[in-house]
């Protein structure tokens, strides 16, 4: 049976933005060393102390504004330009560095720092630089605004679209992700089951390294441009 058009699904995690200067979550010096996950990345934490949670994401938003895409983000944008319609980025990152590098087909499965969400009426809008507990929703007026971030215990966005892409792709690459957050950690098994070649690009082994056909160990800023050149060379 003929395979569908070649398609490349690329899962990215905090590691791809590390060389831009955005801290990852789990490594030493990462974000969780100064903030507990329960405090700032769960609905319960937000209910307990919305001021703290808004302050955390306000700081993340400001940090992202001050940095730029790195060679890894730019290489993925070039790959998409060279293979129109064939490259999909599924990112766990809440920054906008893929878009700022020029990528067009980007799914933010864990939400975006640049978006706000009303947890009363589900309205979404562009987040202001600073959000505060009690800010009214522009649609329903209730003081129920929160960052549009998928917290632990919540369901990631666009899972149907991601599932469809994984079941049709011929190449699956995971870049800078530790394989500790589900369901993203299971995407490699899903892609592999449908025959995709699976490549992991990371500084180190991840929790799910054993599921990949190939590993490129190194910094994303060097390894991703090299891999993209190889894909384009056929
Ligand atoms: P993680 O922090 O758990 O893992 C980061 C991974 O990247 C590690 O495996 C590490 O070895 C690797 N890495 C670090 N520096 C690298 C580099 N220069 N080149 C290549 N690899 C490198 O992150 P995760 O797997 O994405 O999962 C945790 C959650 O973190 C996600 O849900 C995501 O929403 C969130 N997060 C996002 C951002 C962001 O938007 N930039 C930042 C921190 C955390």
On whether both 129 and 47 belong to a single domain, the answer is yes
On whether both 165 and 191 belong to a single domain, the answer is yes
Beta-strand relationship, 106-108 and 111-118 = unpaired
pLDDT tier, 226 (very low <50, low <70, confident <90, very high otherwise): very high
On whether both 230 and 143 belong to a single domain, the answer is no
Q: What is the pLDDT of residue 176?
A: 98
Q: Looking at residue 219, which CATH number applies to its domain?
A: 3.40.50.1220
For 219, which DSSP code? -
On whether both 181 and 219 belong to a single domain, the answer is yes
- Round the average pLDDT of the chain to a whole number and report it: 94
138-166: average pLDDT: 97
Sign of CA dihedral 29, 99, 116, 9: negative
User: Do residues 177 and 192 make contact, with C-beta atoms less than 8 angstroms apart?
Assistant: no
- The residue whose C-alpha atom lies closest to atom 8 belonging to ligand 1 is 178
User: Do residues 206 and 178 make contact, with C-beta atoms less than 8 angstroms apart?
Assistant: yes
On whether both 118 and 222 belong to a single domain, the answer is no
User: Of 98, 90, 86, 106, which is closest to residue 162 (Cα–Cα)?
Assistant: 90
Ligand 1, atom nearest to 17 Cα: 41
pLDDT (tens digit, 9 = 90+) per residue, 76-89?
A: 999 999 999 999 99
Domain encompassing residue 81:
1-22+69-110+156-234
Q: Is the pLDDT of residue 149 over 60?
A: yes
pLDDT (tens digit, 9 = 90+) per residue, 31-59?
A: 666 788 899 999 999 999 999 999 999 99
Q: What is the pLDDT of residue 23?
A: 85
Number of domains in the chain: 2
On whether both 219 and 163 belong to a single domain, the answer is yes
Catalytic one of 110, 119, 132, 215: 110
Q: Looking at residue 121, which CATH number applies to its domain?
A: 3.30.1600.10
How many whole angstroms from 179 Cα to the centroid of ligand 1? Answer: 9
CB-CB neighbours of 29 under 10 Å: 8
On whether both 15 and 115 belong to a single domain, the answer is no
On whether both 101 and 116 belong to a single domain, the answer is no
DSSP per-residue codes, 130-193: S--TTPPPTTT--S-EEEEE--TTSPPS-HHHHHHHHHH-SEEEEES--S-STTGGGHHHHHHH
Of 10, 12, 14, the residue with max ligand 1 atoms within 8 A of its CB, to mutate for a pocket test, comes to 14
How many whole angstroms from 70 Cα to the centroid of ligand 1? Answer: 15
Q: What is the pLDDT of residue 37?
A: 87
Q: Is 54 a catalytic residue?
A: no
User: Do residues 194 and 30 make contact, with C-beta atoms less than 8 angstroms apart?
Assistant: no
Last residue of a domain, one of 149, 175, 200: 149
User: Of 91, 102, 97, 92, which is closest to residue 64 (Cα–Cα)?
Assistant: 97
84-96: average pLDDT: 97
On whether both 222 and 117 belong to a single domain, the answer is no
Rounded (10°) CA dihedral 204, 89, 73, 15: -30
Question: Is residue 114 in contact with ligand 1, taking CB distance under 6 Å?
Answer: no
Last residue of a domain, one of 89, 119, 149: 149
Ligand 1, atom nearest to 111 Cα: 34
pLDDT (tens digit, 9 = 90+) per residue, 162-216?
A: 999 999 999 999 999 999 999 999 999 999 999 999 999 999 999 999 999 999 9
φ and ψ at residue 225, rounded to 5 degrees = -60, -40
On whether both 38 and 49 belong to a single domain, the answer is yes
Ligand 1, atom nearest to 94 Cα: 40
On whether both 118 and 60 belong to a single domain, the answer is yes
On whether both 200 and 121 belong to a single domain, the answer is no
């Amino acid at each position: 049976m003929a395979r569908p058009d070649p398609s490349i699904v690329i899962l990215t995690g905090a590691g791809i933005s590390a060389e831009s200067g955005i801290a990852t979550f789990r490594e030493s010096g990462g974000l969780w060393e100064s903030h507990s996950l329960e405090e700032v990345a769960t609905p319960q934490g937000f209910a307990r102390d919305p001021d703290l949670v808004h302050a955390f994401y306000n700081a993340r938003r400001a940090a992202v504004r001050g940095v730029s895409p790195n060679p890894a983000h730019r290489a993925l944008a070039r790959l998409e330009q060279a293979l129109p319609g064939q490259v999909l980025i599924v990112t766990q990152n809440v920054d906008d560095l893929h878009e700022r590098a020029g990528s067009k087909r980007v799914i933010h499965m864990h939400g975006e720092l640049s978006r706000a969400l009303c947890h009363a009426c589900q309205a979404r809008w562009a987040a202001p630089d600073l959000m505060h507990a009690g800010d009214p929703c522009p649609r329903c007026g209730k003081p129920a605004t929160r960052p549009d971030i998928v917290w632990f215990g919540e369901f990631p966005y666009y899972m149907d679209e991601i599932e469809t892409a994984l079941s049709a792709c011929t190449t699956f690459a995971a870049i800078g992700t530790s394989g500790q957050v589900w369901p993203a950690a299971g995407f490699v098994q899903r892609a592999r089951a449908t025959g995709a070649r699976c490549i992991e690009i990371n500084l180190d082994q991840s929790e799910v390294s054993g599921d990949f056909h190939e590993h490129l160990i190194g910094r994303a800023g060097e390894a991703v441009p090299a891999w993209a050149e190889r894909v384009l060379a056929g």
